[in-house]
Amino acid sequence: MVDDDEDSRRLLAHLLERKGYSVVLADGGPAALSTLEKTEVDVVVLDVMMPIMDGFAVCRELKKSQATSTVPVILLTARDDMETRATGMKLGVSDFLAKPVNKEELYVRIRTQLEGRQRARDLEKAQKRVESL
């Protein structure tokens, strides 16, 4: 969960932890990139408008790195417009959430990304088994 607004981070973390998810928090782009070098995550929820390094810049860096290029990114934005969405799609964003976040929508979008990530892992394992035959 990457957001420069502490209240937003805490609220979303609380909602996700109530559903049994482990949440790692970062207060901005540089902190997120540093954390992701050391910690494997399954989904990144990323605010667009942050100082120093906006969400688009963070996403660009995540997609450049082999370690994080396949991690789904859900872009969290108060600017829910076509330009923001188009930029996000060009950068490989998996999904979008508009602020203020509806908790049921948050749960569905997180679950969908986790299921997709698990299917990709299962496919990769099956391919490796086939290749080893």
Per DSSP (E only), the strands in the chain are 44-47, 73-77, 95-98
Contact 28, 51 (CB under 8 A): yes
pLDDT digits over 97-122, tens only? 999 999 999 999 999 999 999 999 99
Structural domains of the chain in order of their starting residue, each with its CATH number: 6-131 (3.40.50.2300)
Residue-wise pLDDT tens digits, 31-72: 999 999 999 999 999 999 999 999 999 999 999 999 999 999
Q: What is the pTM of this model?
A: 0.91
Name beta bridge partners: 98: 77
